[in-house]
Structure 1
Amino acid sequence: MTISPPSQVGAAATYVYPEIDAAGDLYVAVVSFPPNGGPSTIYVTRSRDDAQTFAPFVAVATPSMIPTAGLPNTRFRDGITESFAASPTHAGHLYLAYEDWDTTLGQMDVKFTQSTDAGSTWSAPVKVNDNVDAAGVPTDQFQPAIAAGPGGAVAIEFYDRRQVCPNDPSVLPADVGRTNFCIDVSLQAYKDTGGGAVLAGSNRRVTQFAWDPEQPGQHLGGLSQYPCAGARDPCPNGRGFIGDYFGLAISATNIYSLFVSTHYPSNVTGDEDGPIYYQQQVLGTVPRSAVARGF
């Protein structure tokens, strides 16, 4: 086996997603940041010669970015801006999901746009999350993952804070009942029969249990077990870490997602004489037949 030398797609790009469509063409989605933060532009490019050359980048969307490092109420930092998929069924059909900060309401939303002409043009973005919040009490939906599967199936999953924190041993007492705080995973399905992806049903809660992003709040040997980028104690605002990505894949029969949860107690006993609620990876399986008719 041999591996070719790397080729440069473009300068000053991050959050890079390569995808191959039904015709075997390679597409790459990237985000380009201006100096010192601010709104980011998502670009897509295409290669028809196995990544030897790339077409000019096409600007797809410029989402608004949250002005702080972390989402409201909690210490964890925000993750990756976008997620990208190409149809294995319909050549030139591309799907892009991204998070977009609503500067008016002060909340994060998930947006969806698509192309049916190999990335030359893109549809007007639509909001994916269908939550209806009480006036003055916005909730965040963020860090989307998108996947395309056999038979024109398209799915978007995202972290969702529309539910009130439950009264559960895995939720810190101070967080029980809080709004826009604990995290679920929600799913939105689409079906592409050749003319582009069409909404299939409404948002569906995938997680059985909402989880507390401030867990683990326990200590071990006097040290905080809270996941902090840079391993600082106490952890500064915006340095908490829940992971930047989570996985999503579609088979002929199921939708599979891999995400974080702090609901499940570990077998490690903390200084407080109870279990430590570490972050754990959870594999969720949703039958396609349960999502929507014909999906």
Structure 2
Amino acid sequence: MTGALVQVSGPSPFASCTADDVAGQIARDPTGQRKVSLNTEVEPWVDVNPTNPKNIVAFWQQDRWSDGGSRGLVAGVSRDGGASWTSVVIPGISHCSGGRFPRATDPWLSFAPDGTLHQLSLALDIDPPANRPGGFGRNALLVSRSSNGGLTWTAPITIIEDENPRFLNDKQSITADPTDPHLVYAVWDRLKSSTGNIINPERVPGDLSFKGAAMFSRTTDGGATWEPARVLYDPGAISQTIGNQLLVLPNATLVAFFDEILGVRNSAGPGPFNLSLKRSFDKGVTWLPAGPPIRTNKLLPLGTVTPDDNRAIRDGGLLFDVAVDPATGNLYAVWQDSRFSGFRFDEVAFSMSTDGGLTWSTPIKVNLTPTGLTNPLRRQAFLPSVAVTDDGTVVVTYYDFRNDGNSGELADYFAVHCHAACASRSSWGNEVRLTDTSFDILKAPVARGLFLGDYVGLATSGQDALAVFTQPHGTDGSSVFFRRAGP
């Protein structure tokens, strides 16, 4: 059973902003291809207040740029279980919200058990320093908190900031410890390029010192202060992590997940992408195993294209989503994977662990996209998310093209459920459609491919799944929507 489809986002709150100098940013692009998609909302995350389940907060990028980031980050706050929403600009992040950086991206938030809401954002300048032809612009991870369910926010605290164009902090996430309101954790990857590649990138075709360590920071006083950033795991040269997420088990063990992308010295067997993890039994002070991480499964994505015109979709194919059952401690992971189609197109892979992440089930396909479609590319399923309800039901959401026809490139959003024995494909069913009507993904903003987000949010409340997702809507290239799906 599903509730009403509710639009979360409204008109851009940055429509009258001039602080970020849009025209100047466009003029600085040497390719002439840079553009901003005004009134678009992409990449939403969502969480529910454990002290008040009617308080739901979504968090998204507002007005997406084609070459990275957005004009700012906006929260959608509901106090009535998702029936209505109020937009709140997160202050101090980007120029348009009174911050120090022209752009912001990768929104993530998490409620602490006392109802305090914490957010973590990447604020950045997309352009490197004027005297450096290569590398990254200055960038910082900014965290702030709300004590009234997302309506007002503290000034942001900088966890890490880099002005050296060799470094980029990226794909961060934040997790409030459900067992202790004083503890909140942040994880991300920190990309590092060689000095030579920054000074003269045309003469450094292969950057053999490139790397991207998994990073960690925490607060032990509820967000008033944050510890200095430190390395959680360094995969070495020509390798990196991405998509870092952290879960807390019922026994208080921390499990840090990441896609471990291994280069020339790949010690994990064929294929560079590995869903890997490390664990901490002392709230993040130390991480085990001490050497290479636990490698759970290979990730085998191809990436999604539109089924008729084969236009690229930026789908987060290198990423994944994970969830923990707060009662049993079972861990669940989903990602895009091409193994089930004979490596012709991506579908949704699922794997689970019942021993705290030490061992994992063989991946199975869980999306229920029809298989008898004339065009096999209409069987693609992408951008999966996973969450667990209070009764242990596992919910997975995804987009697919089953309803595509001869006009446009039509997509929809679905949820599928498993109540027990989830490592078996036959246990998955009760699929529900979350979109009311199919949408043409060709209308989505372009950011190195048609872009709805590198991820979309999924939370639970009681026995209900709470899906927050994006789709083109009216004259907007992408708007944020909410739908409740229950038993």
TM-score w.r.t. structure 2 length? 0.46
Alignment CA distance shift 1:76-1:196 (3 Å): closer
Alignment CA distance shift 1:246-1:69 (3 Å): closer
- Aligned letter for 2:464? N
Alignment of 1:182-261 (within 5 A): 182-192=410-420, 199=427, 201-215=429-443, 227-229=445-447, 238-261=448-471
**1:148 alignment partner, one of 372, 385, 388:** 388
CA distance in 2, matches of 1:71, 1:24: 43
Specify the alignment match of 1:161 in structure 2.
Answer: 401
Specify the alignment match of 1:137 in structure 2.
Answer: 375
The yes-or-no answer on 1:54 pairing with 2:272 is no
The yes-or-no answer on 1:30 pairing with 2:248 is no
Higher-Rg member (1/2):
2
Specify the alignment match of 1:63 in structure 2.
Answer: 299
CA distance in 1, matches of 2:384, 2:391: 22
CA distance in 1, matches of 2:458, 2:287: 27
Identity among equivalent positions (%) equals 24
Q: C-alpha offsets along residues 46-102 of structure 1, whole Å, 9 cap, x if unaligned? A: 111111111122111112221x685652332221431111111113x1101111024
- Aligned letter for 2:440? D
Q: Is the 8 A contact 1:75 1:214 kept in 2?
A: no
CA distance in 2, matches of 1:4, 1:191: 40
The yes-or-no answer on 1:283 pairing with 2:482 is yes
CA distance in 1, matches of 2:323, 2:469: 18
CA distance in 1, matches of 2:422, 2:342: 31
Alignment CA distance shift 1:15-1:185 (3 Å): same
1:120 is paired with a residue of what secondary structure?
Answer: coil
**2:247 alignment partner, one of 5, 19, 23:** 19
Deviates more, 1:128-137 or 1:104-113: 128-137
Q: C-alpha offsets along residues 126-160 of structure 1, whole Å, 9 cap, x if unaligned? A: 10112333376212001111112322122111111
2:283 is paired with a residue of what secondary structure?
Answer: coil
Q: C-alpha offsets along residues 239-267 of structure 1, whole Å, 9 cap, x if unaligned? A: 332211100001114211111111x31xx
Question: What is the number of equivalent residue pairs in this alignment?
Answer: 242
CA distance in 1, matches of 2:430, 2:465: 16
2:419 is paired with a residue of what secondary structure?
Answer: strand
- What's the Cα RMSD here? 2.4
Specify the alignment match of 2:321 in structure 1.
Answer: 83
- Give the gaps of 5 or more residues in structure 2: 1-223, 235-239, 265-270
The yes-or-no answer on 1:128 pairing with 2:366 is yes
CA distance in 2, matches of 1:54, 1:191: 32
- Aligned letter for 2:323? A
Deviates more, 1:50-59 or 1:98-107: 98-107
**1:9 alignment partner, one of 207, 215, 232:** 232
CA distance in 2, matches of 1:77, 1:196: 29
TM-score w.r.t. structure 1 length? 0.74
CA distance in 2, matches of 1:51, 1:45: 10
